[in-house]
Structure formats: C-alpha cells, structure tokens
Amino acid sequence: EAAFEYEATDAEHDEFRESLDTALREFTFRQSTNPLRKLFGFFIPTVREAFECAARVQGFGRKVLEAYRNNPNKAKAKTLIQLIENNPYNFTAEEKATEIPLYMIAGKDTTGYTLACALMHLAMHPEEIKKTRESLWYVYIANLEDAQDDAPTGKSRPAYHNIKPSGYLHQVITESRRFLPVNSVGSIRETGREFTFSTKEAATWVDKDESGDDDGHTSIDDTKFVIPKGAKVLLPQSMSQADPSVFENPHGFRPERWNHATKEMTQSLLTFSAGVRNCAGQSLAMAELNTTLALLILKYDFEVVDPGRLEYFLFLRYIGSQLRVKRAPIPDFAKHLESKMFGA
C-alpha cells in the first residue's frame, strides 16, 4: 500500500502468489529443461494454465496502475508507483504495469524470507538470541533519556520508537544474509574488462572442515582461462559469501565475525548486489529487518520444533519449519523498564 498506493485484498494476494508460482515454474524451470514444451505448449494443459496465470499477474499490475491514475488523492511523497508512472523514459502503460509485479516479488518476498531465516538461525543458536536481546536493552536504556526530553513538549511516543538498531543486531542480520542468501543465484552482469584466471588460483576456493583439512580436491593442473570483456557472467552469492579464503569457518553462523570486518568480507557480501544497478529498496529492507527483529527478540524466545528443509525456487528459504514461541525473560538490569517497553 505504501509503495503503490493500492490496498490489495487477501483474495488478490492469494491469486497473485498462486498465479506467479505456476507461471514461474513453467517458464523458468520446465521450459528451460525441455524446450519442446515451448514449441508444443498449446497441446499441453499445464503450459496453457501457465500462460493464463502469467496474464493474471500482468493484469494485476495493470489494475494497480489504473487505480493510481484514477486516484484523486495521490500521495505528495514520491511513492514507487509515482516514480513508475512519471519516469522520464516514456515507458508504455504495459511496460509500467510489468514493473509493478517485479517490484512486488523483489521487495516483499526477499525481506520476508530473510526475516524468517534470521529467526531460524537465532533459534538454532539460543546464546545469540540472549546476546542480541541484552544489546538491544542496553541501547534502549541509553536512548530513554531522549524520550524523556520530549515529555515537556507534550509529545507522546510509544516505547518502541526508542528502539534503535544495536551494533550486535546489525551483525546478526549481516551474518544471516551471508550465511543463507535468499537470492542465492545472484544477478547477471556484463564484464567491463577481460579477466584471466588459473585453475590453481581457483583451487583456493576449496571447502575445508573445522580442522582445516581439504575435502579431497588437491591435485589440479595449472590451466589458464579467460573471461572476455563483454561476457555475461553470473556470480552466485552462495559462493562469494562462503569463500574460505575470505571467511573463516564459512559454514558456521558467527555474527561476531562482522565486529572487525575486512574489506574483502564487505566486498564479498552481495545480497543487495553492487554497482549502479544494486537493490533499489535495500535501505527500506534493512529498516524493516532492524525494527521487526528488534521487537521480536526483545519480547520473545524462539525454539526449533521442526527445522524443515531448505528449498530453492526463485528464492532459497526454509520450508515446513516450525518454531515454538514463548515470552522472553527480561534481563535483571532492565526489569524496572518492562512496563515502559511493553505496557502494563
């Protein structure tokens, strides 16, 4: 609603998600492995269904665009739908309608799955929940004076407005993004220059266990290979963010590693991509993650009941996972502030 000035119904949400899932499974996966489905799709019921679903997804984009155009009370702020409608590149109405589902997929699901994965990682490491919660309470107490300064002015601010991102919470979110990148496939880029590598250099990317022993890939011929300028390349985030030459014990969940992040570590973290075509909504996504996780961690403890399984379809995420939720204990140093934070 905030981005597109459109309040979708639950039925519209469900239809959009189901239609998108059906269309993507056909056009992204089935036809990529079986080109005959594209040639003879008219005779295949599931292909015809996928085309109908794609039309419904596009139709939803047109509906949102038309609703904005007919809205007499458009927001004065620069909303996303306003930027799409008033872009300087003379997009057609159909091209503008296509942008809307794209932003919905990229902006909503990625943040939601990242939040879910972060909660799962914290539930698997109870000591990290405790450490993060205490850091948040310290931040809240440190900023309580700011809220008290507003009292003489007659302003009333809910307690959660005083929750500012803690350094350790930021490390937890960063490590969760690194440990399990939701958009693990990454993005496609065109090389601006020629790159030359050797297989011996590439061999430094060898998975190692906790003891530091190689997992068996030791004898590799030193062969040169070239990536020419102008080549289309794909760098999966799951590779760059688990490079053992950059991250010590890359398969371990260790938020504290970001306390003294190296240049190589920050450059290898590509969850929002990089360059001029990086994620347009990364600031909003980080604000949502910091705020939502802070409130959840302060108020609740999470315990893994069923870890479920990891599944990749457009995004890498947990499927079938179950967490048990209970009220979180209040640290002794903050018990006198419980009513201020959560109410009576």
Q: What is the pLDDT of residues 3-26, one digit of tens each?
A: 899 999 999 999 998 999 999 889
Instruction: Say if 100 falls within a structural domain.
Output: no
Q: Could you tell me if 163 and 294 are in contact, meaning their C-beta atoms sit under 8 angstroms apart?
A: yes
- Residue 146's pLDDT band (cuts 50, 70, 90): low
Q: What separation, in Å, do the N-terminal and C-terminal C-alpha atoms of the chain show? A: 32
Mean pLDDT, residues 175-189: 88
pLDDT averaged over the chain?
84
Instruction: Say if 99 falls within a structural domain.
Output: no
- Residue 338's pLDDT band (cuts 50, 70, 90): low
Q: Which of 65, 70, 59 is nearest to 93 (CA)?
A: 65
Instruction: Say if 337 falls within a structural domain.
Output: yes
The answer to whether residues 147 and 293 belong to one domain is yes
The answer to whether residues 274 and 133 belong to one domain is yes
Instruction: Say if 141 falls within a structural domain.
Output: yes
Instruction: Say if 95 falls within a structural domain.
Output: no
Instruction: Say if 91 falls within a structural domain.
Output: no
Q: Which of 295, 298, 289 is nearest to 170 (CA)?
A: 289
pLDDT for the residue 153: 45
The answer to whether residues 314 and 194 belong to one domain is no
Task: Answer whether residue 344 shows pLDDT above 60.
Answer: no
- Residue 216's pLDDT band (cuts 50, 70, 90): very low
Residue 280 belongs to domain with CATH number: 1.10.630.10
pLDDT for the residue 202: 58
The answer to whether residues 202 and 59 belong to one domain is no
Domain tally, the chain? 3
> Which residue segment(s) compose the domain that 329 sits in?
108-184+243-344
In this structure, the number of other CB atoms found within 10 A of the CB of residue 55 comes to 12
Mean pLDDT, residues 210-230: 64
Asked if residue 279 belongs to a known ligand binding site, the reply is yes
pTM strictly above 0.85: no
Task: Characterise 9 by phi-psi region: left (phi > 0), alpha (psi -120 to 50), beta (else).
Answer: beta
The answer to whether residues 193 and 168 belong to one domain is no
The answer to whether residues 248 and 227 belong to one domain is no
SS3 content of the chain, % helix, strand, coil (to 5): 55, 10, 35
Instruction: Say if 23 falls within a structural domain.
Output: yes
Task: Answer whether residue 161 shows pLDDT above 50.
Answer: no
- Please enumerate in sequence order all residues whose Cβ is within 8 A of that of 303, keeping only pairs 6 or more positions apart, or say none: 123, 126, 323, 324, 325, 326
Instruction: Say if 214 falls within a structural domain.
Output: no
The answer to whether residues 178 and 255 belong to one domain is yes
The answer to whether residues 202 and 338 belong to one domain is no
